[in-house]
């Protein structure tokens, strides 16, 4: 599958990582298990794109809920959003319109959200989005322990990139404007 993305670009890798994070965060709805506070290592692998390596996230309950709160505030145009937690498994099905396409997503996460979980996120785009008919992302996350000294909730450490704080980024007017343009 050919893509118009420059997969070597740090900005493209950042957008892909944030997309995977937001998709998996959206799947973990209010009635789903919450992740344990502390330092998490998250490996996301999008099919057909070289892995950028593990991302570390220092989270607390507020940070873990942040992406979901932002998604609700942005009021996505979704005709379906079905989240089903059952035991150690959470499944999600959504149908949402954005950027002139309809994205149908089916995701499944399995594990203990206080120590480790794995998931798959499969999205089909109709019509194709940026030349992509579908996207398949595998996510594997594990709790490493308490956040490191000097880290605060929201800190994200990405390989070969500047560290950032997701809480501060979400409050940045430039980022908010960029997100509004994505609708």
pTM for this predicted structure: 0.72
Specify whether the CB–CB gap between 166 and 40 falls below 8 A.
no
Identify the sign of the CA torsion 15, 20, 21, 22: positive
pLDDT at 129: 87
pLDDT at 21: 45
45-79: per-residue pLDDT in tens?
Answer: 989 888 888 999 899 888 877 656 655 555 568 88
99-117: per-residue pLDDT in tens?
Answer: 789 999 999 999 988 899 9
pLDDT at 149: 93
Higher pLDDT, 141 or 14: 141
Specify whether the CB–CB gap between 152 and 142 falls below 8 A.
no
Per-residue pLDDT, averaged over 131-149, amounts to 93
Checking if the pLDDT of 166 tops 80, the result is: no
Specify whether the CB–CB gap between 166 and 66 falls below 8 A.
yes
Higher pLDDT, 165 or 52: 52
pLDDT at 27: 42
pLDDT at 181: 57
Specify whether the CB–CB gap between 40 and 59 falls below 8 A.
yes
Among residues 67, 71, 81, the alpha carbon closest in space to that of 35 is found at 67
């Amino acid at each position: 599958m050919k893509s118009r993305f420059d997969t070597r670009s740090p900005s493209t890798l950042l957008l892909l990582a944030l997309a995977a994070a937001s998709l998996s965060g959206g799947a973990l709805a209010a009635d789903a298990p919450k992740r344990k506070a502390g330092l998490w290592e998250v490996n996301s692998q999008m099919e057909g794109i070289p892995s950028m390596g593990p991302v570390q996230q220092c989270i607390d309950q507020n940070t873990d809920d942040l992406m979901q709160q932002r998604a609700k505030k942005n009021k996505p145009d979704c005709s379906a959003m079905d989240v089903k937690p059952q035991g150690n498994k959470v499944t999600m099905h959504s149908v949402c319109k954005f950027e002139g396409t309809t994205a149908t997503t089916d995701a499944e996460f399995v594990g203990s959200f206080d120590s480790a979980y794995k998931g798959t996120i499969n999205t089909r785009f109709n019509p194709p989005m940026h030349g992509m008919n579908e996207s398949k992302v595998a996510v594997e996350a594990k709790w490493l322990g308490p956040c490191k000294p000097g880290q605060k909730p929201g800190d994200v450490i990405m390989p070969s990139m500047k560290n950032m704080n997701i809480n501060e980024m979400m409050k940045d007017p430039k980022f908010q404007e960029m997100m509004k343009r994505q609708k």
